[in-house]
Chains A and B, each alone.
Chain A
């Protein structure tokens, strides 16, 4: 084990107030610590010195919950591919390095404190359509609906999205298309998602726009930063599904008022 001496530039901000970078010297950081453990050490020392610790989000610390965030040296979740901040290790840094640590920045993700941002916009997008309606009562038989292996695998890939928001943070437009496309695409791919497909697609995209995320310019920084390697082909599908749903809405209308109905 070796110890690292690092220069941190950490964003400090209270909700609704302007923020600034604080220079913090992080000395003797074990290289087997994770990035969040490094932050814990730094916070311990701040507390001992009678200063305010740095607020940051975290929960599972094993790359599955999507709570950890942080823009590290200009890249969400840091420089490692397919890695969340909690899974990033300090051995990826060299002693003497300067590390910039900032919150995920987007108008739709307001800063709560320091490195913590409010990602409630994602919840509201999910509530708008990221679900399938099921009847209550006894659970249906497993495997009663046949799903092709390829379809199930693809839906599983989309379902890997942990809702961390790195895609928004990486995008120069703060677009949420990768997240929304993964959440909509997962359900839109499966037979269980078909009955509500158009409604879901329209509702989720409209909520996304309402939250003030930017528009996708097909630069794929989201995919490069996504810890779960969600493919931008889900965005292709969302574009397709949205165009179809919007045209159907405009020229066919709702089912109950359709010409062929009861």
Chain B
């Protein structure tokens, strides 16, 4: 009996996932988690402007939270969110293409934005960026950022010198450029995605629709300006170099 009702629950949940709205709700929920993550990530990174102590201490705190388990919990959570977000959107996009086999000779968009038409492309480019970004600053592959030159003393402990890594990382023009391009695409993705998730989650009303739309653009701009300020300051204005 228990097994029966268990499988009934699982059946219904898989039907939910199989449905158009079910998948969209998962995309919206994982999108919401990622939207909040980029804000936290940006605020943390801006500590680079507070000097070496501040950002190194922050980095050390992230690495050692919950005896080093915290960072892995966050990583696995984010990985799951990214995976669901991408798998579901690719499935949805394929269905959308199949829903119109014969193309129009003329098809005019009247109200929708460029950003909303390019979500899959801005998203997939961001995926490529995330892979590069993780190799660059997290795994630190193909660069010396794991070496002894990037260790420093903090309150009597040897910690990773995040500050020096960020300054050196962005002193290389191609890296800075790629980061800035990726952030412009993130801006585009968020400018449609943020207000869109409220609609998919069934939260938008006549009154709040324009508010969510403005909020989405403001949020996207905030993330763009905040994140780009770091490579721009280091690469173009020589901050910390």
Contacts and interface: CB of A to CB of B under 8 A. Distances in A.
A239 B105 contact: no
Contacts of A205: 19-21
Interface residues of B, number: 49
A243 B99 contact: no
A174 B100 contact: yes
A181 B205 CA distance: 15
Q: Which of B106, B196, B201 has the most CB of A within 10 A?
A: B106
A250 B111 contact: no
Interface in B1-46: 5, 8-9, 12-13, 15-16, 18-25
B104 interface: yes
Nearest to A247: B16
A214 B200 contact: no
Nearest to B195: A218
A172 B117 contact: yes
Given A172-B109, A233-B206, A246 B200 contact: no
Interface in A225-262: 225, 231-233, 235-243, 246-247, 249-251, 253
A53 interface: no
A14 interface: no
A241 to B, nearest CB: 8
Contact of A239 (B18, B111, B199): B199
B158 interface: no
Given A11-B105, A102-B105, A215 B23 contact: yes
B102 interface: yes
B106 A214 contact: no
Contacts of B105: 9, 11, 21, 100, 102
Nearest to B18: A209
B111 A224 contact: yes
A220 interface: yes
Contacts of A235: 199
B111 to A, nearest CB: 5
B205 A250 contact: no
Interface residues of A, number: 54
A71 interface: yes
Given A239-B201, A239-B202, A75 B110 contact: yes
Nearest to B201: A239
Contacts of A236: 199, 202-205
A209 B19 CA distance: 7
A131 to B, nearest CB: 21
Given A74-B106, A205-B19, A239 B112 contact: no
A242 B12 CA distance: 13
A2 interface: no
Contacts of B8: 253
Interface stretch (B90-98, B130-138, B142-150, B177-185): B90-98
Contacts of A208: 20
Contacts of B203: 236, 240
Nearest to B20: A215
A108 B101 CA distance: 10
A74 B111 contact: no
Contacts of A212: 98-99
B190 interface: no
Nearest to A174: B99
A243 B206 CA distance: 20
Nearest to A13: B102
Interface of B: 5, 8-9, 12-13, 15-16, 18-25, 92, 95-96, 98-113, 116-117, 119, 192, 195-196, 199-206, 209
Would you list the 6 A-B pairs with minimal beta carbon distance, nearest first?
A: A240-B202, A214-B99, A250-B12, A74-B106, A219-B112, A74-B108
22 contacts: A73-B108, A172-B107, A173-B95, A175-B99, A206-B19, A214-B20, A219-B116, A221-B112, A231-B206, A233-B204, A233-B209, A236-B199, A236-B205, A237-B202, A239-B25, A239-B200, A240-B203, A241-B202, A243-B201, A246-B19, A250-B16, A251-B12
